[in-house]
């Protein structure tokens, strides 16, 4: 029997954004602009392009700007309409119409696993996706769609992975796996932020997941791990002992936009690809040499 269609996505957005302080002291990290769109909008658009209809955003204190961004702004729309800016008006309206949005509050920063658990009552007994908005993946096929294709072939939970440098493994959840065809892996184990000498591979989980609701009871009994947080990686390790978990090597250019240097690199790459800004920006960069 084929799996149930993946219709819902969870986007955790309650983190403190400490890597971007002081910029994120009063402004959500997820609203940092990557050229002309906030980071979280890229995640929403990727989910929608992958066939997702319902977007659940897990927010926290000081994150009201996220809700406002995906809501209607009648005063702004009337201003654009009155000034004859019809294309910009369509773009602004599309932001609130692209999906069904629902918001859940994470009362305290207790880790990614806890953020996912906060959405349990809205997921129900369905498979669902999880996207981290500070991981921006640019490719001809949306990263999440690549995972859903693997899931739709009758596989279990699917994690998006990318190979990273050995010196960087301590920043990620790293998988131990058995390689299959087409960049697919059977996950044997996961280790959260291992030292390079202890890493089972260089394949890092990069913020894209397709999960079954079986993860929820495991998250409920998962004890806090590193940084006293409930780690999704720890729950996935337990799930792997009960059912098959797969990983798919994501095709596309991945940017860690949650890091200052990664954010700057992503800004340059996306600016150069912009049809209006790209040519003059490229000329500016060339004159800096």
Domain count for the chain? 1
Nearest Cα to Cα of residue 131 among 190, 60, 206, 187: 206
Of all residues in the chain, what percent carry a pLDDT higher than 90?
68
Domain annotation covers residue 141: yes
Residue 241 has pLDDT above 60, yes or no: yes
Residue 275 has pLDDT above 60, yes or no: yes
Domain annotation covers residue 242: yes
State residue 110's pLDDT score.
84
Domain annotation covers residue 89: yes
Per-residue model confidence as pLDDT tens digits over 46-103? 999 999 999 999 998 889 999 999 998 889 989 988 888 889 899 889 998 999 999 9
**pLDDT tier at 3 (50, 70, 90 boundaries)?**
low
Domain annotation covers residue 16: yes
What residue numbers bound the domain in which 87 lies?
A: 8-287
In whole angstroms, what is the distance from residue 225 CA to residue 99 CA? Answer: 34
**pTM to 2 decimal places:** 0.93
- CATH number reported for the structural domain that contains residue 97 in this entry: 3.90.550.10
Check if the beta carbon of residue 103 is closer than 8 Å to that of residue 65.
Answer: no
Domain annotation covers residue 2: no
Domain annotation covers residue 1: no
């Amino acid at each position: 029997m084929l799996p149930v269609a993946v219709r819902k996505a969870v986007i955790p957005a309650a983190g403190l954004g400490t890597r971007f302080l002081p910029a994120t002291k009063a402004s959500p990290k997820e609203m940092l602009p990557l050229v002309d769109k906030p980071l979280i909008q890229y995640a929403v658009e990727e989910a929608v392009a992958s066939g997702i209809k319902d977007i659940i955003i897990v927010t926290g204190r000081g994150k009201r700007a996220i809700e406002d961004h995906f809501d209607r702004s009648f005063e702004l729309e009337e201003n654009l309409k009155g000034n004859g800016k019809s294309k910009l008006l369509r773009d602004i309206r599309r932001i609130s119409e692209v999906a069904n949005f629902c918001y859940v509050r994470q009362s305290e920063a207790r880790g990614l696993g806890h953020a996912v658990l906060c959405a349990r009552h809205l997921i129900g007994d369905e498979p669902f996706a999880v996207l981290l908005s500070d991981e921006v993946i640019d490719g001809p096929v949306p990263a999440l769609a690549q995972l859903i294709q693997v899931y739709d072939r009758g596989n279990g939970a699917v994690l998006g992975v990318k190979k990273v440098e050995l010196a960087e493994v301590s920043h990620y959840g790293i998988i131990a796996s058995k390689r299959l065809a087409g960049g697919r892996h059977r996950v044997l184990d996961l280790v959260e932020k291992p030292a390079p000498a202890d890493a089972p591979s260089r394949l890092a989980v990069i913020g894209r997941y397709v999960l079954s609701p079986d993860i929820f009871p495991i998250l409920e009994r998962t004890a806090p791990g590193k940084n006293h947080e409930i780690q999704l990686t720890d729950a996935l390790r337990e799930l792997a002992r009960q059912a098959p978990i797969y990983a798919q090597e994501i095709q596309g250019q991945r940017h860690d936009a949650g890091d200052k240097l990664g954010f700057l690199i992503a800004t340059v790459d996306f600016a150069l690809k912009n049809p209006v800004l790209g040519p003059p920006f490229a000329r500016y960069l060339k004159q800096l040499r």
